[in-house]
Amino acid sequence: MSDRHFDQLATRFAEKIYGGAKGAIRLAVLQADLAEALPDRPLRVLDIGGGLGHMSLWLAERGHEVTFTEPAAPMLEGARQRFADAGQTATFIQAPWQELLGQLTEPYDLVICHAVLEWLAEPHAILPVLHQLTKPGGWLSLAFYNRDALIYRNLLKGHFKKMRKNVMAGEKQSLTPQQPLDPRELATQLEGLWQVESQSGVRVFHDYMPVEFQARAELVDLLEMELAHRRHPSFAGLGRYLHWICRPI
């Protein structure tokens, strides 16, 4: 298995991930968490596998100095255009994560790694690299596809044959990640490198709603309720993604 890049799927990615309520909720939770955690001063930010640049642009608009990296050329160009349309600047680098230590000379105040681990052949291998790229006293914003949520959704759908086979990876050309992460395993892998400071669930109920209820719900209400329940002790772990803000040890 190799790392998955989105050279051929940029348009589908844009429509599927950010074309509706799912993307709006995801951005709202990530941004709320970061706004709460970060100091009120400009930071040097590194976005690894930044996709189409939604999070990086939000950070740039708040005065942070952004270095944006993305291995897939169509995604990188989409991000570059998004920045240009907004009148914002960043340093753009087309490279996979394995090449970043050789290209970047100084660590960053904030490293963003959102929806990357689940597309890697060996997700744990990036963790020491993230640590080296983050300044002492800095922050890592880590968002990943939650295996627990995928299991729960399959249980609700009655996909018991799939559950017995324990096959959770997506098909080759699908947008279902190839390596959904077990949060307990990831927490163990972070030990010695990172202290997890805050944990939120991203879409803790939206994706479980019947389709007709989703269609009737107003986005403003969905955002309000997702934000209100993102750290609820019973619901946070059901988030389709989990967002952990970590400090280097």
In 9-107, at which residue ranges do the beta strands (DSSP E only) sit? 44-48, 65-69, 91-93
β-pairing verdict for 194-202 and 44-48: unpaired
Q: What tokens does 29 get? A: 């939770």
Residue 137 known to bind ligand: no
> What is the C-alpha to C-alpha distance for residues 33 and 29, in angstroms, rounded to an integer?
6
Residue 170 known to bind ligand: no
Residue 70 known to bind ligand: yes
Beta bridge partners of 134: 108
Residue 49 known to bind ligand: yes
In the chain, at which residue ranges do the beta strands (DSSP E only) sit? 44-48, 65-69, 91-93, 108-114, 134-145, 194-202, 241-248
Give the three-state DSSP class for 18: helix
Residue 50 known to bind ligand: yes
Q: What tokens does 228 get? A: 């209100």
Beta bridge partners of 66: 45
From the CB of residue 99, how many other CB atoms can be counted at a distance below 10 Å? 13
In 24-94, at which residue ranges do the beta strands (DSSP E only) sit? 44-48, 65-69, 91-93
Burial of 111 (0-12, 13-18, 19+ CB in 10 A): buried
Decide if 29 contacts 230 (C-beta within 8 A): yes
Annotated binding site: 26, 49-50, 70, 114
Annotated binding site for S-adenosyl-L-methionine: 26, 49-50, 70, 114
